[in-house]
Amino acid sequence: MTAPLRAILLLGGALVAIGGTPVRADTLRDALNGAYRTNPTLQAARAQQRAVDESVPIEKSAGRPNVTGSAQYIEFVKQSSSSFTAPERAILAGADLGVPIYSGGAVRNAVKAAETRVEAGQADLRGTESAIFTQVVAAYMDVIRGEALVGLNASQVEVLTVNTQATSDRFEIGDLTRTDVAQSQARLALAQGNYRSAQANLVNARETYIQLTGLAPDDLQPPPPLPGLPASAEDAVAVALEQNPDIIAARERAEASRYDINVAGSGRLPRVSIFTGADYNNYLGTISSPTPGVSIPQTSTAVQAGVSVSIPLFQGGRPAALQRQAQARSAAALENVIATERDVIAQVRSAYSSWLAATQIIASNQTAVDAAALSLEGVRAENTVGNRTILDILNAEQELVNARAQLITARRNAYVAGFSLLAAMGRAEARDLGLEDDGPLYDPQVNYDRVRNKWNDWSRDPDPIVQSTRTVDIPAPTAEIRVNDDSAPVPLGE
């Protein structure tokens, strides 16, 4: 499924153009790529994952050697009256090295828990990416639907304007009644209201598109078809249980919580470490000898080494409480796995049902459009011989407009539901869509491999800068659409 989806999106721009190629046309691929490179929510999620990566070297540091140095300069302002060799000042320096040998498994299990949570975070990042793409697809289709509805309503206003004028002219010559004129005027006013509502909805859709992609929706092309959709809801669920990032993240967190239990229990076990230290004292020649002619050394050094063993005997029940707490949290994490599975299964089945229904609705609405168009043609013809009234024509015209609007909405709903289904199955991410052909993709594993074994206390990254783009410079969208010059309004009764 993944390869066909990628191929379709790669060719999307070429597949949708019929006739001439517009000067500036945006494809769904452009929208997805814009969101992938510039969306602030996605950029923030990547930065948050880099913070999660650092938990591994943080936990590892507890099991690594530590070295501490110290230095002092002391002025002995007042000497003891019983001391005859006390110095007046001194410089003291020392260095201590400690190496943990055994910590009851705390470090080992804490590192494993941190590594598992990194994997969970990477799955969360996949989920965020997929969710953003789903929103982009919905916004993209909302703009296309909005433009179609604005065009449809604009055409209807144009038709009714012409027909209202024609009705008025026929009333002046006594061919129609004032009732016919009022009916035409009422339908025109209603169409004008629908047109304004469609314009407002289009502006809102375009604003959402800009918010998600950082791009202006100049000329959105029809999207390519979605290949590889499952044959049944059961097939979709089976794939989702293996590949959905939310389920993977929940499972990894449940695994990490098991390590947390061992970390908490290690508080009852001994700690063993080896240590060594060196000290240097320099009294700066201020030690006087009580015996004339006898020299007293003014410097001294010392070195010590040993093994330290700490055995906790009683801690007021704290270790047991911590372990029980970790067990309870692990139980919650295990339940969350099932809860996530339930949620994903419901999402997949609902998306599949919505996609299937919308696909069937498209066929039904297309039939309705064809029938309504034929009906309108017949009513107009019958009106010319006096068998139909102006109200009959207005009703037939409105039925055709409603059928076309429903068809437009059904196509939008089918596409969004289909993409949502792929996303719930874990098959609607950047690699599935072939976005690497527009530039390298963000790989969270690269940063994790870079930092996981760092030892240097002075290693730091450059100060962060904003990666996403602002939209303040994008002009506020309007409800203007490209007009098809081939579509001219047809007056009522002609």
Specify the pLDDT at position 172: 84
Q: Give the span between the Cα atoms of 298 and 286, in whole angstroms.
A: 8
Contact between 347 and 399 under an 8 Å Cβ cutoff? The reply is no
Contact between 35 and 42 under an 8 Å Cβ cutoff? The reply is yes
SS3 274: strand
Q: Give the span between the Cα atoms of 278 and 229, in whole angstroms.
A: 70
Q: What is the C-alpha R_g of the chain?
A: 38
Contact between 425 and 231 under an 8 Å Cβ cutoff? The reply is no
Which of the 8 DSSP states describes residue 432?
H
Question: What residue ranges do the domains of the chain occupy?
Answer: 2-62+107-267+326-451, 64-78+85-102+270-311
Burial (CB count within 10 angstroms: exposed 0-12, middle 13-18, buried 19+), residue 491: middle
Per-residue pLDDT of the chain (494 residues; tens, 9 = 90+): 444 454 445 434 333 332 333 334 589 999 999 999 999 999 999 999 999 999 999 999 999 999 999 999 999 887 776 666 778 889 999 999 999 999 999 999 999 999 999 999 999 999 999 999 999 999 999 999 999 999 999 988 988 898 888 888 888 888 888 888 898 889 889 989 999 999 999 999 999 999 999 999 988 999 988 878 999 999 999 999 999 999 999 999 999 999 999 999 999 999 999 999 999 999 888 877 766 666 778 899 999 999 999 999 999 999 999 999 999 999 999 999 999 999 999 999 999 999 999 999 999 999 999 999 999 889 888 887 777 878 888 888 888 999 999 999 999 999 999 999 999 999 999 998 888 888 899 999 999 999 999 999 999 999 999 999 999 999 999 988 876 544 443 333 33
This model's pTM is above 0.75:
yes
Q: Give the span between the Cα atoms of 192 and 150, in whole angstroms.
A: 11
Residue in 243, 307, 304 with CA at minimum distance from that of residue 276: 304
Q: Which two tokens stand for residue 334?
A: 């295990």
Cross-strand bridge partners of residue 91: 73, 282
Specify the pLDDT at position 483: 62
From 2.60.40.10, 3.40.1160.10, 1.20.1600.10, 3.30.9.90, which CATH number describes the 2-62+107-267+326-451 domain?
A: 1.20.1600.10
Phi and psi, residue 385, nearest 5°: -105, 10
- Fold (CATH) for 64-78+85-102+270-311: Outer membrane efflux proteins (OEP) (2.20.200)
Residue in 435, 443, 429 with CA at minimum distance from that of residue 46: 443
Q: Give the span between the Cα atoms of 415 and 363, in whole angstroms.
A: 14
